[in-house]
A and B are shown apart, each in its own frame.
Chain A
Amino acid sequence: MEKVGAVMIVGAGIGGSQAALDLGDSGLKVFLIESSTSIGGVMAQLDKTFPTNDCAMCIVSPKLVETGRHQNIDLNINCEILKVSGQAGNFTVKVKKNSLYINPDKCTGCGVCGRNCPVEAIDLFNEGLAKYAATSVKYPQAVPLVYAINKDYCIGCGVCAGVCKAKAVEYDRKDEIIDINVGAIILAPGFDEYLPPEVNKYGFGKFKNVVTSIEFERILSASGPYAGRVLRPSDGDIPQKVAFLQCVGSRDYTGEGQPYCSSVCCMYTAKEAVIAHEHQHEVKPTIFSMDIRAYGKDFDKYIIRAQEEYGVRYIRSRISSIDEDHKTKDLILRYENEDEEVIEEVYNMVVLGVGLNPPRDAQHLADKFGIKLNPYGFAETDIFNPVQTTKPGIFACGAFSQPKDIPETVTQASAAAGCVDQILFSERGKLITEKTLPPEIFVAGQPPRIGVFICHCGINIGGYVDVPEVTRYAATLPNVVMSDRNLYTCSADTQGIIKEKIEEYHLNRVIVASCTPRTHEPLFQETIREAGLNRYLFQMANIRDQCSWVHMNQPEKATEKAKDLVRMAVNKARRIAPIDRIKLGVTKKAMVIGGGITGMVAALNFASQEIETHLVQNESKLGGFANHIYHTLEGGDVQAYLSNLIEKINSNKFIHVYLDAEIETINGYIGNFKTTVLHGPNKDRVEFEHGVVVVATGAKEYKPKEYLYGQNKNVILQSEFEKILNTNGAIKDKNTIVMIQCVGSRNDDHPYCSKMCCAEAIKNALLVKKLHPEKEIIILFRDIRTYGFKETYYRKAREAGVIFLRFDENYPPEVTVNGSSLKVDVKAKKVGNLLIPTDLLVLSAGIVAPHEENEELGKMLKVPLNDDNFFLEAHVKLRPVDFATEGVFVAGLAHCPKTIEDSISQANAAVSRACTILSKDEIEAEGKIASVDPSRCSGCGMCIDNCAYNAIELIEDRRFGTVAVINQALCKGCGACSGNCRCAAIDVAGFTSEQIYAMITGRL
């Protein structure tokens, strides 16, 4: 059977798009199949994302644009899967492309058809809160920007065909059926949100001011039905008291909802509460929840901020009923608080934190692709590889296998791509075509012709800065020949506009005044390059992050500042010149630091693609943290898995293992690293070259100082307890066992959740109950964070008789020794003060990052740590395993506390990201580097001392004598040499002194 160098991805939300980009970038052909008419999925519907409050559209839009225009990605919208045949390596999929009734090749997305359509259809993107024409796009920034006619509403009047200048409307356009041949398949259909049944206790569907969280998300959005103002649907008033109800349709055993935890609702509700208050200070949010499950990286800090800075009130309760005041349309909520009092409160609006259901067509997809679903209706996946479905060659990522948030989805998308790489690595480059760019227009020596594009960014800029005024002002500046404004300059349609304007006005410099160049510069640079301009003939003025958002109360001053910023950008743009990027070779080898499960999975993935891999482990054996774990909560045999991995590693000819190793130096840059390692008992020195680095250094278990640990032999850690239970250690004489959660987590020293301790405690408690049903187990907790399907084990533990008591964080339990036994004094909620005599106290110790080791490695690799000493990724949401430093990736516990399955996903994801580099023969380096003007250089050598990269040396020049020269491949463009050059002989491309002076004088 011949392998096919192509992949099909079903579902083009953020997960599908990420997988497509990874695979497309590593040389495979990608067929991206989407059932709706545009890509972006649920993320495009969101207003902001937690825990950074990043604007969702702003961060997802560049990704979608990239996906839409990627040379190797074939985007198919409005599709249905008909039939799948074949097996791993060679599948044939029959796909039906449903007609849009508009020719996508002709449609320009101008929208005239929609504006002239006499028929109103319901706008599903805005969750039915607004009306649209029957001829529409899903949302204004949609990728691809192609209109479609909704035949359910269309009356066939023919108006749209009459007004369409492009002659794109074709009422009789037929559906198309095609066969697509691929080597592997990734399923990323996402989820559907839970919708309460017609008759429900929340009054949803009956009371107008009860909305779901996703509807509320659209209300918050600048592009939503109320343009970002928080208004309630019944009368358009600002709701002052808003109640958010958690676990609607989740953790529900009544049969109405789902028994599992939907994992994301606690965080998105906190975010919606914060953003609502931010948009309208009158809004006072109250959140009703059972547990607060803020288990992810920096999530707990967000919850604390929500409470302390935004005044969000948390009440631990589940609402029993809601009534409506018929006159005011206010809502009356009844609940029982923790002191068992029944309380009635009036709210102006209620938001239901609805859970995540499997996608409606999950069964259909499963049947077509021949995969199994789990009892909850999600894709069943391998216990140690969460992206592997029950059928080889078919992978699942994102919420299709379990409810999950955006970074986990993006990680799994890359992980699925990493697993596809393993099957199809040999077929790379066989089915793709090289991207052809038009030749660069020669602009040197020509007078600048500057085009300025000013962004409204919805209301993010336009709501505070007078954008039309700034646009008018920009047109008056020297050399500006064109000035225009856009709702979202980063959207796909605007990229087309920019290209048109470049041609129309013969622009040779382009300025975008919008958000920060740190996220959006590459997108615009790519756009102008496609229009034939050198990438560096581009400037950005940051009038959002550094203007409209920070001067919200001073619109006049903000407008004045925006003008200044635009003028400074214009002044610089007048002096910018094209820069050529240099090409760098790639050493097709990898280094993985850390020999735990994460590091080993990464190394094995590289090796299975025949990439030589150096695995560096600081301990004397492989295994890391997993050496102390026997089973996962779900029953996976960790020790068997681990020994299997180690055996594979040791027998693989592509992997070099260094034990007891320490890294002496890491030199070089993306594609070309050189590392020296001291290893073994004799500290032998070995030096090797590699193109990428994966940091999988892991973390440690916290060694408690509290609760008499180390002082009393009956106080042990959860991991020690696990060992006793799994090695037939005796606990016969221990009749009462008390477990304390959050030891060394969620406190001042370690203000984060260690994520796995709740599952560990429940796993061990269940095992005790299985071995010795008569033992009494009491778990003292703050929140039980059994997210996702782990929730069922929490339920099982309760059913098995494990007692759960919640204590307040301000009153932690106190432990005293009483002769030979221990006593735990706890102020438990609902029960009151208890003095529990216990035979064994088990502490659920958290996970801590090794501070000094991480800091040292961070410095060597030039990558940052967060406040808690875990490694800090390039972007919390969309680049979860990348570092800002190119060619370096992070996976596993080094990133933050997580489960074994998540670590394995991250390992595969890191490999997939690395393969976007290792699959290429050469990569283009950054062009903004320093250069020496030999006619000015006096050869003093000051710059050599200042260069941290050893990129400068003195040479004898035939004409100028001793002068400095800079190695282009080593230079990072920091400019430390230039800043100190007494002869002004060194300049940095893109930041030349002339350009900076122009910005300084630009004020006058």
Chain B
Amino acid sequence: MSTQEVSSDVTLELITLTIDGFEITVPKGTLVIRAAEKLGIQIPRFCDHPLLDPVGACRQCLVDIEINGRKFPKPQASCTIPVETGMVVNTQLTSSVADKAQKGIMEFLLVNHPLDCPVCDKGGECPLQNQAMSNGNGESRFDGYKRTFEKPINISAQVLLDRERCILCARCTRFSEEIAGDPFITLNERGALQQVGIYEEKPFDSYFSGNTVQICPVGALTGASYRFRARPFDLVSTPSACEHCASGCDMRTDVRRGKTLRRLAGDDAQVNEEWNCDKGRWAFKYATASDRIKTPMVRGSDGQLHEASWPEALATAAAGLSVSRAAVLVGGRATVEDAYGYSKFARVVLNTNDIDFRARVHTDEERDFLGSAIVGVQVNYSAIDRADHLVLIGFEPEDESPIVFLRAFKQVRKRRLKVTTIAPFTSRGSNKLNAEVVKSVAGNEAQLIAKISGLTSKSVILVGERLCESSGALSATLALSQSSGAKLAWIPRRAGERGALEVGAIGTLLPGGRPVNNASARVDMQSAWGVKSLPENIGRTTSEIIEGLHNGDIDSLLVGGVDPLDISSDAIAGLEKAFVVSLEMRHSAITEIANVVLPIAAVVEKSGSFLDWEGRARAFESAVDVPDLRSDVRILSIIADQMGKPINLPTVAAAAKEFLALGNWDGARAPFTPTSATLISGDTILASWRLLLDAGSLQDGETNLANTAHPSVAVISTDRAEKLGIKTGDSVRVFNERGAITLPCEIKDIENNSVWIPRNSHTSKTIATLGVASGASVSVVKA
């Protein structure tokens, strides 16, 4: 036996065995079926999945095994047997017993499987179909009657089940329990009547349900949006990345004749393994929504937007931006390349640091925290895998970064990873993570953070972007990380924020984390960009820019993909006064008031990359070619040319190359000045976050998905419920002087002076309705 060092703290014992006459050496614990894969020997299988616990149920992978000359009396399931030294394995290729056993099992599997391949969505990419051909008899001897079921049944609004196709491998039920922690689907009944199902009153509304469709080895589970739409061999697949959040999922986009028909989770062991969330999988129809903008538009003297030619629109934009004091709002969804384009455009063309990617509630404390502790720093998913303690602050992973949730849940399940969360109440996600919940009232997080103890250099602290809403909390977190040595990562919600931070789409930083107020950092960039000088003052934040528009300090605005209601309820008023150039996909509140609207490509229509929360690049190619729709950076480059101050970024690739060549700043970071906490008090303090499935505009057009959203409820304490004389399910009205939101209530372990509601659900939009997101006083009454 030999050993191989794979890293400083792990040594793997290696085991040598023989499979079909070939010797192979693999780490101890490897299953026979995987050792065979390494030799290129494909043993047929159905229930086996490398990310699920071995179960040995389908029996398709039977092989002959002997150990040190002693033969197992019967063939063994290679998906459940770990390798041993001296093991001799004979698969179907070299053992007639194994071959007959496998063919026998295949024949049994087909006994009750319908011959409906011609109308089955899985046909053409079906493991059963494929392996029946490669490892089956070709002809069945079965001429009896098959099991039939009513078909299909909706196990959720999005997932349909054709039970007669199911071969009961239990991948879906095991996924739901082992990976998602949502055992909403189970094997029911028994024997030949065993079937997958839900409890009749509770649909399969797991955020991760789509993965079961993907790993189903037959056509038993299908997604409503793809069912009967296409044949796999008519699809062109393009590797892509998910634009919905900062988890960084690897994806695959399948297109037929220019139309995206489905998206699947890609395979990236470092990031999303083989999973994704239902939003990433199914929310892609926004790109083909009827309000999609495909032609440039210019506001005419009649005050109306008119379609215009590209040259006219670009010229109008260039002219408007040239004569004025301009600022830039990037939005959180730009690719790295596009955000780099905005960043460079602001500095080189507009000669300003007035740029901010934070189209949401934000603070100066956050900006300084990002520049000091986050930009340029990588903390990876693998840190969660190795963590001795995971601390979540202002961050609800299942809603706000689902793959982070899956990775944490995996560690909780496999090795009981200790999780602590500072949150207003025990959410379902916290329950699944078996987390210790340190209950907060929105705004008082800083003092709770200061009390966390016992962290080590193997601990990991994950803060959500909304923690900035609690004054002093980020400062306290940074202090905690520094004093304990715990790793600290910031998890924004949107896919573009981390990239935008790195490219300097913020008033304090130039690309690569270079502080704008550092002369040598500016010199770096001046030489890279070939300009004589760069502005050295700290740029305005998003809210300062809006204020500047309000009071006339800024006259024009370049804005890409921003919903003003994500920022504040009155942001739009400021924008109305300015000359606005809007780079947008769809009609929005901004295009309503913009002077020039320039259509841009959606993610599936362009190439580019995102940086996920780790800081890891997630590059993707264009999956759908739409003539005339370009990535933002290409448009910015043309406007810059027209304004006589070229930024020389004619392609996405050029932008990527230029940014990469800059490298990270290795000089001093701006010193961080902690913000002190302000104590929040009041009878009823509002807390909120965005549910994964809500009224987000990128989810538009997919009603099946929307119907699986978790219900929007107002979470109140038992005490409050008693005082109001209500029980779970009764309606409450949450209101302030700006407006009111009425929701059914749910009674939970929330503090008595706290109320939680969803931030952006169809029935609960806090900023639009109440003008606040969290930490503010509201009132709650029985509705």
A and B assemble together: no
Contacts from A to B (Cβ < 8 Å): none
Contacts from B to A (Cβ < 8 Å): none
